[in-house]
Structures are given as C-alpha cells and as structure tokens.
Amino acid sequence: MVKAEIIVIGSGIAALKTALEASEHKHVILITKSNIRHSNSYLAQGGIAAAISDRDRVSLHKKDTLAAGQRYNKVKAVEKLVEEAPLVIAELIQSGMQFDHDDDGTLMLGMEGAHSERRILHSHGDATGKYIMEHLIACLKNSTITVMENTTAVELIIGKDDSCIGVKTLDKAGELVIYHAEQTVLATGGCGSLYHFNSNSQTVSGDGIALAFKVGAKVRDMEFIQFHPTLLFINGKAEGLVSEAVRGDGAILVTERGRPIMEGVHSLKDLAPRHIVAQTIFSYLQRGEKVFLDISMIKDFKKRFPTVSSLCEKSGLDLQFGKIPVAPGNHFLMGGIEVNEWGQTSVPSLYAVGEVACTGVHGANRLASNSLLEGLVFGNSLGHLLAKLPARSIPEEKEQSKDSCHFLSLPDFEALQEKLMNEAGIVRNEAGLARLKDFLETFNMEKLLQMEVTELSIKEIKIINAMIVAWLIAESALTRTESRGGHFRSDYPCEDDGQWLEDSVILACTDVKNRVKGRRLYEHIEA
C-alpha cells in the first residue's frame, strides 16, 4: 500500500495543473493508465480562449459562452471561467509558455465558431494542446510530484466515514496496487472513444465517471455530448480532427458539387455553434451526399495548419485539390460528475476537474476553445484549495459485499461503440435510446455495478465502465424530452424552456437497485 496526501488520476491539462498547484504544499501522486502524453489535451488542435485584446471584453466572452450553451449554463461558473482566463494565460506566459505572434510581435488571436471577437490563442498553428502540455510536463519534471504511468484506476476506496480514501489500481502486469490518500482527484477526461466516430484519445473512455458513480457520486447532464462537425472522413472511417480554426480562417462546408451547405441555416454560417453545423452535415450524409471542407481560399495552408496537413497526407489525401472530406463525431462531454466551483463531488474528499466534471460552465454545448481554458482555470483553483487543506486522518476501509465474476458475459467494445453512435449519436429518439438501454440491461447492470473488479482484466474493466457510462447517457437522453445544444431528439425537436431550462437530469442513488432503475432527480439551476 502506498500513501499520499493528494492523488490525481489522469494526465490532461486539468490533471497536470491541479497536481502542480497542489504540490506547492502537499505530496502528490499522479496516476495515469497510459503515458503522460496520451490525453485529449495533448491532441487539442484548437486554441485557448481569453478576452485579452483591446477590442474584447470579459462580458463578451461570457455572453458568447452562455449563447453557445443555450442559456443552460451555471452563470457563476461561466463568470469564474471568463474572469480568471486573462490571469491564468498571463501566468502561463510568465512561466515560459510560447504562443504564436503576429509579425509586429503582438499575440496572434484567432476567430472560431460562435465567438464575437478574435480571442483564440494558438501555439505552433494547430498544435496548441501539444505545446501547452509539453510546457506543463516540463514543469512537472521540476516538481516533487510522483508520476505513475501505465497504472489503471479500477476502484475508488470508501472509508467507514463514507469519504473517499484512495484508489485501487492495476499495473501493466495486472498486479493490484492500493493507494491511500487524504484527498483524491478524478481528472480522467470524458467518454469520447466510446463512440465509433470520435476525435478523442483512445484512452478517454469514461472510466472516471463510472468509478465515481459506483461509489455514489451524483452524475448529471450526460445527454449533452458535443459532436465536432469536422473529422477527416476517409473510406467510412473517422481518421482524426480537422480543427474549427480552419473554418475560422475562411474555409466553408460544401457538397461534392461545391454548394455551400450552411447558407440560410444560421446567421454565422460555417461558424455557427457546433451542434448546428454537426446536425447539418449529418443530414446530408443521411441522404447519401458527401460533405467537404473547401480550403482553397486559405493561403499557405500547410504552414498555417501543419497538424491537419500531416493527418490528411498520412491518410492519402492530396490537399492540392483544396477539399477535405468530413463527417461529425463525438468530441466533448458537457455533463459528467457533478461538482461545485471548487471541484468537490457529492462524496467527501473526492474531487473532479476537467472534462470528467460537470461544473455547469458549458451548459448544453461548449463554446470552442473553452475546454483547455476550463482545465487551467478550474485546475488552478482546485490545486490551490488542496494545497491549503488541513491534514486529515485516513479512516479504515468500509466493508462492502462484492459479487464474484464467475460466468461473466460482456459485449465487444466495438459493438458498444456502434450502438452508441447509432442510438445515442447526433440525432436521437425514444425508440433508439430504449433499444440501447434494453441492450445494456440484458447484461445484468445491477451485478456489473457491484462486481469485484480486482479479479478482472483491464480489458474487462474497461468494457464494464463503458457500459455504465453508456447506460447513463441513454437514461439521461431518454429523460430529457426536448432538444437543446448537443442533445437533439427527432421526436422532440424543439427547446422546452417551460420544463427544461431550469431542470437538469441528475442520476444519483443510495443502492444498486435504484441505480439500475435510474431514479431521476431534478435540481434547480442558478439563473
């Protein structure tokens, strides 16, 4: 058994920022199931938003965030995000982070969908996430933080006082290692790789959400999933992300014959909020029409977008024709583990930060380039909080009965990906969501929720966690009988402010039976 004051599970921007700030006064162990460079943050092509130009205002950044979120956001969380953005960016630059500059030496600020001003900072064109992460990893090497790579968190440990006291893990060889901690932080990312078409790192499969739900943490807004409009689409497969910054530089979405598809759909056309663009592209694909991103008007495309260019070339696409075939896919989860502004979950001494957490900052749809910002802002404040917490005695582990894993039957992970994409994807309805939920419950979800996972392989645990998260998505999407943001139901195609603007779907329960029944709780959202 290993002891620490703080354990952070994850390796993205939120995990690293939290760990770095907490390590100023605490012993921190950072645990990641792969290596430290495998995260969505590292893959992020888009930039990071902050109102730092003379033309921009924090109030405008707030307004844009609320508009993209379909007014469903928690206003206090949004205010925290946009007000602290300039400060965390300034601190990042002061610590040595290099962002792109114009020829005159001023910071280069880009435009992306649903932003009213140019406020997107980039690094090396479309490799912002990679270079921010490399900067933080360099800081990590100069800290006292212990990093445990290839270590998979498989079960949170609950003490006799019902607080979280650490985590059980399996190392690369499948050996069980137990970590006890005064405070435990989940920063495991969203659940993007559960979908057949996605832009995510394949390590991002919803583990943290499942771990938290199994120990009683409240989970909310799981129906709100952002599908990025433009994934490179070759021979029926999504090969990677084509950054929204490409459209920000003037590229437009067209049919094979060159007809612009966003004309007349939204006043912002190709820079409309992502759910609108994704749904529009999807409607064309359903009719059998291919959609392309016309980049012919962008000068020096390979220099401006080296990551996208490399992706296209590796996939055998010749960019000289000026068109990139695209399709939408899972990109970001707005919901997750319910937390307050300091990252505290409903389980004492268990915190969540980044995409795995739901602060309410994104509402029903995330504004472009607010995700890296969220990791920095909320990771910063959580790290500061953890650094100042008084020491606590770790209680003994609470005894809990677990089911044996004999005769375990599980679906193929790929089959689950297909079902999620088909039944709980860009366009949903009651029949499809019910089919998904019924399929999952044939595998005895009640038993899976109380399985003794330390007897299982890492592959089996991944599938079980994926099934739990898929069930949460299906239940949440069935419950919300309207369309809003990233949640579009063809049988309820309109927003219903009277019922749903101030109500959220929160799944929480006190026993396994209620979890599988999906007891639906509603909580008032701050105006």
For the domain that residue 314 is a member of, what is the CATH number? 3.90.700.10
What pTM was estimated for this model as a whole?
0.92
Query: Which pLDDT score, from 0 to 100, does residue 521 have?
Result: 45
* Residue at token pair 């064309």: 284
The segments of the chain whose pLDDT lies below 70 read: 406, 509-527
| Residues with Cβ within 8 Å of residue 206, at least 6 apart in sequence | 190, 191, 194, 465, 466, 468, 469
Query: Which pLDDT score, from 0 to 100, does residue 514 have?
Result: 55
Q: Classify residue 279: in a domain, yes or no.
A: yes
| Residues with Cβ within 8 Å of residue 195, at least 6 apart in sequence | 329, 330, 417, 420, 421, 425
Query: Which pLDDT score, from 0 to 100, does residue 294 have?
Result: 98
CA-CA distance, 53 to 496, in Å (whole number)? 37
| Residues with Cβ within 8 Å of residue 416, at least 6 apart in sequence | 194, 463, 466, 467, 470
Q: Classify residue 109: in a domain, yes or no.
A: no
Q: Beta strand 357-358 with 336-338: parallel, antiparallel or unpaired?
A: parallel
Condensed to tens digits (0 to 9), the pLDDT of residues 192-209 reads 999 999 999 999 999 999
Phi, psi dihedrals of residue 487, rounded to the nearest 5°: -105, 110
Q: Classify residue 317: in a domain, yes or no.
A: yes
Q: Classify residue 385: in a domain, yes or no.
A: no
Q: Classify residue 320: in a domain, yes or no.
A: yes
Q: Whose CA is closest to 163, among 342, 28, 346, 383?
A: 346
The parent domain of residue 306 ranges over 229-328
Query: Which pLDDT score, from 0 to 100, does residue 502 have?
Result: 86
Query: Which pLDDT score, from 0 to 100, does residue 403 have?
Result: 76
Q: Classify residue 183: in a domain, yes or no.
A: no
Condensed to tens digits (0 to 9), the pLDDT of residues 363-389 reads 999 999 999 999 999 999 999 999 999
Number of separate domains in the chain: 1
Query: Which pLDDT score, from 0 to 100, does residue 90 have?
Result: 97
Q: Classify residue 35: in a domain, yes or no.
A: no
Query: Which pLDDT score, from 0 to 100, does residue 509 have?
Result: 55
Query: What is the secondary structure of 432-490 as a DSSP string?
Result: HHHHHHHHHHTT-HHHHHTB-GGGS-HHHHHHHHHHHHHHHHHHHHHH--S-BTTB-BT
The one catalytic residue in 71, 119, 220, 274 is: 274
| Cβ atoms < 10 Å from Cβ of 498 | 8
SS3 assignment, position 393: coil
Q: Classify residue 403: in a domain, yes or no.
A: no
Is 119 assigned a catalytic role?
Answer: no
